Amino acid sequence: MRIGITYDLRADYLGKGYAEQEVAEFDGVETIDAIDDSLRLLGHTTERIGHVQNLARRLAAGERWDLVFNIAEGMHGFGREAQVPALLDAFAIPYTFSDPLVLSVALHKGFAKRLVAGFSVATPAFAVVHHENELQPLNLPWPVVAKPVAGGSSTGICKACNHYELAVACRKLLEQFRQPVLVETFLPGREFTIGLVGTGPKAQALGVMEIVLNGSAEPDLYSYANKQDYKRRVSYRLAEENIAQAASAIALRIWNGLGGRDAGRLDLRCDSCGNLNFLEINPLAGLHPVDSDLVILCRLLGISHGELIRMILSSAQERACVCASARTV
């Protein structure tokens, strides 16, 4: 196949004056190289497209691809991750990963939690704060965690133990990230991330990885700083069988309930009684060949980066074949 690759390159935005945390989710060239190399080794022809503006220009010029391998995060709005898929849908070009609806719902952590609660999955008590004056009526058990409602890579996440700390945190987050703040009750238990591949009845949980903060880490939270320095601050291990089975079942219920496609990652954390609670879902998980959580989990399972790319592409190719068949009817 002739495969285009869409992405947001971190260096491009840093060169335009954006701050490091604003582009934390964007990719380095090593990620694009690794995906490109894997696709070529699978026998495909690749073309690097880049961000959504480049895609729009090339589509307007008449260019088309058999499939697009999309990892573009977008920059602005709650629908930023949906921009490339929506544009490709308009031109009936198949692509990897979830559709615009799933990506938009998953990005907004408040909407995602409301939907997941409908699947009979526990999630910490939460509220979405749009303005400082909404803080006073909040009645959540302390302590709480605050984070941008549509942020990624744990940017801005912090813990507050009283109203004063929460007010300071929310004021800072509202100003810095210019979006609402998700406030949820802090869960003191173990944290897990589940890797998922496949679509619909073919979806499966690859494995469950526990995230353990070392003594040198910022306490309590898998924060942006801890992720950036994970080799020193964080230990990763495969979860034991009983908790892995329970976490996998919950993750698949959510994945299929929301309509996730091809691959993604889902985070759960235990409350004080050891019950698994939903934190968030990432249907456009990072694919850095070394540092991304999904890739780290695959490494623990003995799955190479190239094999992960093959599984993602194989799932997406099934839709591409259906689209091609529909066009010829």
Separation between Cα atoms, residue 144 and residue 138, nearest integer Å: 11
**What are the C-alpha distances in Å from 108 to residues 102, 146, 171, 190, 304?**
10, 14, 19, 24, 31
Mean pLDDT of 298-315: 98
Is residue 157 within 8 A of residue 23, CB to CB? The reply is: no
121-159 residue pLDDT tens: 999 999 999 999 999 888 999 999 999 999 988 999 999
pLDDT, one tens digit per residue, over 123-133 is 999 999 999 99
Asked if CATH classification 3.50.50.60 holds for the domain at 106-121+188-310, the reply, yes or no, is no
- Give pLDDT tens digits for 169-190: 999 999 999 999 999 999 999 9
Per-position DSSP letters for 213-238, written without gaps between them = E-TTSPSSS--HHHHHTHHHHEEEEE
Q: Residue 288 and residue 25: Cα distance in Å, rounded?
A: 11
pLDDT of the residue at 325: 52
Q: Contact at 8 Å (CB) between 149 and 109?
A: yes
pLDDT tens digits, one per residue of 245-288: 999 999 999 999 999 999 999 999 999 999 999 999 999 999 99
DSSP state of 143: S
Distance in angstroms (rounded) separating the CA atoms of residues 24 and 121: 29
| Segment 10-25 mean pLDDT | 88
CA–chain centroid gap for 327, Å, is: 32
Q: What is the CA radius of gyration of the chain?
A: 20
DSSP state of 285: -
The gap from C-alpha 28 to its chain's centroid, in whole angstroms, comes to 16
126-185: CATH class: alpha beta
Domain 2-96: which topology?
Rossmann fold (3.40.50)
Please say whether the beta carbons of 276 and 122 come within 8 A.
Answer: yes
| Per-residue model confidence (pLDDT) at position 322 | 64
pLDDT digits (tens, 9 = 90+) for 225-248: 999 999 999 999 999 999 999 999
Count CA atoms within 13 Å of residue 52 on its CB side: 15
pTM score, whole prediction: 0.94
User: What are the start and end residues of each CATH 3.30.1490.20 domain in the chain?
Assistant: 126-185
CATH 3.40.50.20 domain range(s) in the chain? 2-96
Residue ranges of the chain that CATH labels 3.30.470.20: 106-121+188-310
Sign of the alpha-carbon torsion through 55, 59, 63, 65 = positive
